[in-house]
Amino acid sequence: MLILVSFTRSESFHLVLPDVVILSIKVRWSGIALPFHQPCGSHSTLLSSTSFHKQLVSSLVKLVYNTQKKARKNINRTGTLLAAYMFLVLGLIGLTWVSLEAGHLRAMLLLACAIICGYIYQCPPFRLSYHGLGEALCFAAFGPFATTGFYWLMGNNSSVNCLPLTGTVLCASLLVGFTTSLILFCSHFHQVEEDTTVGKISPLVRLGTEKGSSVVKVAITALYSLLLTFGLSRDLPSSCIILCLLTLPMGNRVVSFVDENHEDKRSIFMAKYYCVRLHALFGASLAAGLVIAKFVCKRYIPRLILA
């Protein structure tokens, strides 16, 4: 009865737990003190009653604690979700404002496509990452959509400052998207079991880590093959090719690390960070090569695709 009263009298849920704890202390003290004031024949009955009360109070404490824990978790999830949507809206407003200032609707369209790719990649009700489409969406969002969109934002629609779409921009965006997707792919190595448990069918859940390490090797080979192809077609200047080839040791490091540690869940965790280093070095080399071609060599003429 005391327990029921403590529940009904508590105006808020947080007052229940202290009442139950205090009652638990009282019951435990009664189990020690009362036997000295009772006849000997009632000791077994008293002890069994005290044990029952202890179990009851312990169960109630666990129930209240777990309920409060779930409530706090739901509040945290709701707060995180609201914050995520708030930042999404702020980002959309900012990009829309910049696009309108530049007067470039094509840039706004590409950036909107990049945001949509990011949303359907992870957010409900789509969650296409659970179907193994994360790498493709990541490639499109960070590659052609975002890179080309931000390139156009550096100019405007006036005849003087309008930036044309060239083969150089498209090739650079493809390489950036490629290295970004490689980061995402390698981030799955250490969480294959967790992805399988929650029903997330990532590429490594489908392939396994051994075949996944072979995919990384093919991807690095394809990256530098594309680089040479773009150089031979003169869509990228020779300065970009030379500087990006200097990152080849980092690419080899990614391949060897994944090949040696793909079965070690703890060590393979670092694979994505090696990919981040490759992405940063490759991107910096690509940008430096374009700057050199523009201001130093002054002989490179990009191939026009869209004026």
Domains and CATH numbers, the chain: 83-163 (no CATH), 164-307 (1.20.120)
What gap in Å lies between CA 203 and CA 133, rounded to an integer? 8
Tell me which of 298 and 257 has the higher pLDDT.
257
Q: Please state the separation of Cα 191 from the chain's center in Å.
A: 13
Percentage, residues of the chain above pLDDT 70: 73
Q: How far is CA 47 from CA 42, 158, 224, in A?
A: 9, 91, 78
204-231 pLDDT per residue, tens: 999 999 999 999 999 999 999 999 999 9
- Tokens 């090569």, residue located: 289
Of 36-40, 56-60, 182-186, which gets the smallest average pLDDT? 36-40
Categorize the per-residue pLDDT at 73 as very low, low, confident or very high, splitting at 50, 70 and 90.
low
More confident of the two residues 31 and 95: 95
The pLDDT of residue 101: 81
**Where are the alpha helices (H) located in the chain, listed in sequence order?**
2-9, 16-33, 43-102, 105-122, 134-140, 146-153, 167-186, 192-198, 203-207, 209-232, 238-245, 248-261, 271-292
32 or 229: which carries more pLDDT confidence? 229
pLDDT band for position 23 (cuts 50, 70, 90): very low
The Cα 222–Cα 216 span in angstroms is 10
pLDDT digits (tens, 9 = 90+) for 127-183: 999 999 999 999 999 999 999 999 988 876 555 467 888 999 999 999 999 999 999
pLDDT number for residue 63? 58
More confident residue, 272 or 304: 272
Name the phi and psi angles at 34, rounded to 5: -65, -35
Tokens found for residue 181: 């997707």
Cβ proximity of 6 and 19 under 8 Å: yes
Other Cβ atoms within 10 Å of 133 Cβ, number = 18
Structure tokens given for 141: 């969002």
In whole angstroms, what is the distance from residue 303 CA to residue 287 CA? 18
The total of other beta-carbon atoms located within 10 Å of residue 14's CB is 11
> Does 122 score more than 80 pLDDT?
yes
Question: Among 20-24, 94-98, 202-206, 266-270, which stretch is predicted with the lowest mean pLDDT?
Answer: 20-24
pTM: 0.72
The pLDDT mean for the chain works out to 79
DSSP result, 197-211: HHT---HHHHH-HHH
Confidence at residue 37, expressed as pLDDT on a 0 to 100 scale: 44
